[in-house]
Each structure stands twice: as structure tokens, then as C-alpha cells.
Amino acid sequence: MATEKEREIRQQLTKTGQRLVEKNLVAGPGGNISVRDGRWVYLSPSGFALDEIKPEEWVKVDLVSGHYQGKWRPTCEISMHLGLYLARTDIRAIVHTHPAITTGLVSGGITLRPIFPDFVAILGHAIPVVDYVIPAGEAIRKAVVAALKRANVATLKNHGAVCLGSTLYEAFVRSWVLEESARMLLAALVAGKPRYLSAEEIEGIDHLEAEDYRKTLLKNR
């Protein structure tokens, strides 16, 4: 019998899966998301489009053993999710997407850098880039965990992006802002030469009380 908290987590995952599809951050059965609650991780099932997963279909997995409950298999990238939770005890949610513009730019050799204030406030100063490895298994687990030891967002060449959060909403917003940043950068590249924020401008954003307030809201939704 699911507890009220578990039911709430499952409902949040279903809502977030729908949002990710609405924002064109995944297509078909691509991408996967999860939430950790103590020793349990709730993961998207393999082969499902994120906007068609019902609350009861999210797969409950033991964080340490990897054993799962129910009739559905978890995403094939389960090892990456469990590895991140074990390495980053401060995070509670993971959103892995296949954003077209972000993936296209990094696969073309373009590094995403701060181009507007929300980049700094929500994504950080720099975004690690992970070279292509075969999805699923230990190779992607090791590569992504290494990239996200001190960052909350990483891009994967020829694959997608991984965003972490202290809440599922925070991880979702990071995924959304990442793709919007890539969209802005692409527009700047088409129009001419992008103007990135300077170190002084980045420092100024870091000290804005308004940004501290917005970041607090993300962690409490």
C-alpha cells in the first residue's frame, strides 16, 4: 500500500513528464527522470514516452541494491541515476532529456556559456561537456557522475543533458532554461558573434538578492 508521500511523488513525476514533452525537451520514449526518497528511487519505466506514464507505473527501486518492484522494467539508464544519488547525497531529483538545440550545439563543438542572467542564476557559471559514450551501463554512469561532482547540469555530446535538483521542479527548470540558453546562443551565432557575460557581470548576478530569492523558491516547489 503506497503512502501519501509516495503517491505525491508519483503524481509529481507524471506532471513533470508531461511538462518535459510539452517543452519539446524529449521525443518518443527518449529521456528519463527520477526522484529519491530515502532508500527508494522512483524511476521512469523503460520504453514509455514521458507524457504517457501513469502515477502507478513509475518504478520503485532500492537505491543500494538496484532491485525494483512491479511489472515494469526501469529505464536502461538506471545505473546513471543510482550512481548520481550515491555520489551526490544533496540531490533529490534527476532529469535526463534530449534537447535538440542543446545537443546539436555541443555535438557541433559549441560550448554553452553564460549569455543571459538566468544562465548564471539557474545553471551556474560553466556546464561540463561529456564526450559520447554508449547509453546505459557503467560507461555513462562513470562519465556523468564524474562531470557532476561539482555541477548541477551537464551536456552529453550526441545524446542530451542531465540536470540535478534538490526538488524535481528545480531539476525540470534547469532542463528548460538550458534549452532556452541554447536557443539564444544559436540565434546569436546566426545573427553574428555572441556576446557572453563578463566575469564582472557574472559576479554581479551572483550577488543579486532577487536571484537568491528565486533560487530559494525553486528548492521549495
Name the residues annotated as catalytic: 77
- Cα separation, 42 vs 132, in Å, equals 26
Can you give the length of the chain in residues? 221
What 3-state DSSP class applies to 40?
strand
3-state SS of 139-198 is: HHHHHHHHHCCCCCEEEECCCEEEEEECCHHHHHHHHHHHHHHHHHHHHHHHHCCCCCCC
- 100 close to 24: Cβ distance less than 8 angstroms: yes
Q: Are 107 and 168 in contact (CB under 8 A)?
A: no
Beta-carbon contacts of 57 under 8 Å, excluding residues fewer than 6 positions away, are: 45, 48, 70, 72
State how far the Cα of 157 lies from the Cα of 168, in Å rounded to an integer: 24
Inter-residue contact 45 to 57 (CB < 8 Å): yes
| Nearest Cα to Cα of residue 151 among 163, 166, 167, 138 | 163
Please answer whether residues 189 and 110 qualify as being in contact, where contact means their C-beta atoms are separated by less than 8 angstroms: yes
